[in-house]
Amino acid sequence: MVPSTLSRKASEATPLIAEYSSRFRLVETSAIWIFAALFAALAARGYFAPFSVSAVQTALIVFLGALSADLVSGLVHWAADTWGNQTWPIVGPTLIRSFREHHVDAKAITRHDFVEANGATALVLLPVILGVHLFMPGSSSAWTHLQSQASLFALSLTFFVFMTNQIHKWAHVDLPPSFVRLLQSLRLILPRGHHQVHHRGRHTSCYCITTGWLNPILDRIQFFRLSEKLIQAISTLRAREDDLKLIGLAAQSRSRVSSDTHPS
């Protein structure tokens, strides 16, 4: 079989992963800009608040924000890996699609630009950061010390959550920028070697992908396996049913292409 015939058959085949549409890209681009504006506005409001946060408190709050973001990333990653499919409303084409693609082709994320890698995260964060704005007093001069600390925590949490997929992407890039390699070596963000554990076997460990700090604890106490057993006991859902099917279909597709390209 000649290469042109292979290309034609591949293009005619129904894709395993739903297409990333230009319309959804526009939505994601808008979400990133709106999130950036709301984030900057919250930082500015905190700057003009009458209460300052000490350096020690700032470091602690930023750390807690990063730790919380790591937990959020693990919960979302596990949920998107384990339940549902790309046809589910809203979460299907946003979250589930990207995680299904990632298991079929782990390097696909490295070919995504900034918008495709991070747009869905910004979209999810919009109601969160908007809610923080609405919760805080309209004038920052009326903020209490606790509210100043809360705004800093919200900034830390939303920043690290927003950066999670970019950090995840860097963990798959063969040669990330030097400053990224430094952060990875210091374990301040998800290290490449640590994340590769997730891609072994059935993708059932090391779900946290912001810093990876919580993975040893959550894996040791079997947090996600116990959660799966509980959900399966009270619902009709089956863990990783769709994900394993797609991985199997992708493997069969690659095998057919290989046999057609290199006939015996």
Rounded Cα gap, residues 35 and 32, in angstroms: 5
Q: Specify whether the CB–CB gap between 164 and 121 falls below 8 A.
A: yes
Render pLDDT for 199-223 as a digit per residue (tens, 0 to 9).
886 778 899 999 999 999 999 999 9
Q: Would you say residue 2 has pLDDT above 80? A: no
Average pLDDT across the chain, whole number: 83
CA nearest neighbour of 73 among 236, 242, 224: 224
pLDDT at 5: 39
Classify residue 15 by its DSSP letter: P
147 assigned to some structural domain: yes
Rounded Cα gap, residues 195 and 77, in angstroms: 13
What's the structural domain count of the chain?
1
Highest mean pLDDT (candidates 31-45, 74-88, 104-118, 187-201): 31-45
| Both structure tokens of 240 | 């990783």
Rounded Cα gap, residues 254 and 264, in angstroms: 16
Residue-range definition of the domain harbouring residue 107? 21-259
**Tokens 């990330």 map to which residue?**
176
Q: Which residues contact 119 (CB under 8 A, 6 or more apart)?
A: 25, 27, 28, 29, 31, 32
Render pLDDT for 219-236 as a digit per residue (tens, 0 to 9).
999 999 999 999 989 988
CA 46 vs CA 18, 49, 124, 182, 231: distances in Å: 41, 5, 23, 30, 41
264 assigned to some structural domain: no
Rounded Cα gap, residues 263 and 4, in angstroms: 16
Instruction: Tell me which of 9-23, 91-105, 148-162 is least confident.
Output: 9-23
Proportion of the chain above pLDDT 70, given as a percent: 80
- Confidence category of residue 171, pLDDT binned at 50, 70, 90: very high
| Both structure tokens of 119 | 């747009």
pLDDT at 38: 98
**Rounded to 5°, angle at Cα 48 from 42 and 54:** 90
5 assigned to some structural domain: no
Rounded Cα gap, residues 128 and 170, in angstroms: 25
pLDDT at 255: 53
14 assigned to some structural domain: no
Rounded Cα gap, residues 208 and 115, in angstroms: 22
15 assigned to some structural domain: no
203 assigned to some structural domain: yes
191 assigned to some structural domain: yes
Q: Would you say residue 162 has pLDDT above 90? A: yes
Rounded Cα gap, residues 111 and 65, in angstroms: 29
7 assigned to some structural domain: no
Q: Which residues contact 158 (CB under 8 A, 6 or more apart)?
A: 35, 39, 125, 128, 129
Render pLDDT for 250-261 as a digit per residue (tens, 0 to 9).
555 555 544 555
